[in-house]
Structure 1
Amino acid sequence: MEVHLVVAHPEQHSFNLALHKVALDTFRKEKFKVNVSDLYEQNFNPVAGKDDTTSFPSDEYFQLARAQRFALANNTFIKTIADEQNKLLSSDLLIFQFPLWWWSFPSMLKGWVDRVLSSGFAYGKDAKLKPKKVMYSITTGGANSKEELAYYQTKIDGLYQDIFGFMGWEILPAFIAHGVQQKTNEERQQILASYHKHLLEKVLADSLELSNT
C-alpha cells in the first residue's frame, strides 16, 4: 500500500501535526511508502483559477471544469497541481488531517480539493484517477453532549459523501479528537495512542493480515 497524507494546519507545533506524525510513523514502521503534502508548509495556493493551467486560450470564456479538462488533455497543469495529482495516482489511500472549522475544511484544504481533484482527473466520464480509500483525521472545538457528538458526526459524514462518496471512493471511519485544547497532556497522549490503534485496526488490519500470511 502507498499512502498520501495531506495535512492542513498553520501551526507546526499543533495537535494536528502531532496526529499527522503518528500516521507518518505508523505507516513507515509498517514499511509502506508515504507521500506527504503539508499544505501550509508548502504555502499551497487554495485559489482555483486561470493560473492553474499554462495554456488555456486567453480569448475563451473561463469555466473551471472546462479549463481543468483542457489542462489534463494537454498536460498543462502547473507543476504544483501536477505534483499533487501524481501523488494521488501512485497512492492507494488518502488521509486528510485537519481541524474542523465552521463544520468544514480549512480554506487551504478546500482549495486543494478544488484544484487537485479536478474535472476529468478525479471525477467525470473516464476519470483518470480511479477510486481509492480515504480517511479523515479531525480535531474539533469539543462536544458536551450526545446530541453535539451526533451533530459533529452528521457534518463529517456529509464532508465525506459530498466529495468522496460522489467520486465512488471507499470511505474509512474517521478519527475525531474532540476538544483537545481543554485536555491535559496525559489525555492528549492517550488520544495519540488511540489514533495509532485506529490506524492499525480500521485502516491497516487487512494489509497487515495479508503481509503475515
Structure 2
Amino acid sequence: MRVHLIVAHPEEKSFNCALHKVAKQTFSEFGAIVTESNLYAEQFDAVAGTKDVIGFSDPSGFNLAKAQRYALDNGAFCEQIKYEQQNLIACDLLILQFPLWWWSFPAILKGWIDRVLTSGFAYGQEAILKPRKVMYSITTGGAANQDEKAYYQGKIDGLYQDVFGFMGWKIVPPFIAHGVQRKSHKARQLILQDYQSHLKTNLFNSHK
C-alpha cells in the first residue's frame, strides 16, 4: 500500500499538522510506503501559469489546458509539477489535510489542484492517472449543532465531487474535526485517537 499525504497549513504546531503526523505514523506502522508534501513548508507555488510549462508558445495566447497537454506530450512540466505527479502515479491512496477556509480549500491547496491535476494527466479522455482512493481530513471553525454539522458536510461533499468525483476516484468518508481551537488539550488528544481509528476503520480493513 502506497500513501501520499498532503498537508496545507502554514503553522507546523497547528492541529492540522498534528493530524498529519498521526496519519504518517499510523500508515508507517501499518507497513505502508508513505510519501508527503507539506505545501507551506515547501513553498509550493499556488499560481498556475506560463512558468508551469517549458517551451510552450501559442500565437493565439496562453491557454492553460492546451499548455498542460503540450507539457504532458513533451515532458515539459516544471520540476515541482513533475514531482507531485510522480507521487500521485505511485500511490494507491491520497489524503489531503487542510483547514476549511471560506467553505473551501486554502489557496495553496487549490493551487496544487490547478497545477498538478492537469488536463490529460488527471482528467480528460485517456487520462494517464487512473482513479485512486482519496480522503479529506479537515478542521473547521466549529459547529454548534447537528444542523451546522450537516451544512459543513454538504460543503465538504461538494469539494469531493467537484474535483475527485469528477475524476472518477473512490471517495473515502472524510474525517472532520470541528472547533479544535476552543477545545482542551485532553479533548484534542481524543480527536487524534479518533482520527487513528477512522483511518483503520475506513482504510486498513480493505487491505488485509
TM-score exceeds 0.5: yes
* Equivalent residue, structure 1, for 2:175: 175
* Equivalent residue, structure 1, for 2:72: 72
* Aligned equivalents of 2:189, 2:168: Cα separation in 1: 35
Q: Write out the 4+ residue segments of structure 1 that deviate beyond 4 Å after TM superposition.
A: none
Q: Secondary structure at the match of 2:143?
A: coil
* Equivalent residue, structure 2, for 1:187: 187
* Equivalent residue, structure 2, for 1:123: 123
Structure 1 regions of 5+ residues with no counterpart? none
Range with bigger deviation, 181-190 or 58-67 = 58-67
Percent identity between the aligned chains? Answer: 59
Aligned partner of 1:45: which letter?
D
* Equivalent residue, structure 2, for 1:35: 35
CA displacement 1:69-92 (0-9 Å, x = unmatched): 110000000000000000000000
* Equivalent residue, structure 2, for 1:19: 19
* Equivalent residue, structure 1, for 2:200: 200
* Aligned equivalents of 1:47, 1:11: Cα separation in 2: 21
* Equivalence map 1:137-152=2 (5 Å): 137-152=137-152
Displacement after TM superposition at 1:173 (Å): 0.3
CA displacement 1:13-65 (0-9 Å, x = unmatched): 00000000000000000110011000001000000000001111164411111
* Aligned equivalents of 2:188, 2:74: Cα separation in 1: 48
* Equivalent residue, structure 1, for 2:63: 63
CA displacement 1:87-131 (0-9 Å, x = unmatched): 000000000000000000000000000000000000000100000
* Aligned equivalents of 2:114, 2:204: Cα separation in 1: 28
CA displacement 1:128-147 (0-9 Å, x = unmatched): 00000000000000000111
* Aligned equivalents of 1:6, 1:69: Cα separation in 2: 24
CA displacement 1:159-181 (0-9 Å, x = unmatched): 00000010000000000000000
Aligned partner of 2:171: which letter?
I
Displacement after TM superposition at 1:206 (Å): 1.2
The number of equivalent residue pairs is: 208
Aligned partner of 1:29: which letter?
E
Aligned partner of 1:172: which letter?
V
CA RMSD of aligned residues (A): 0.7
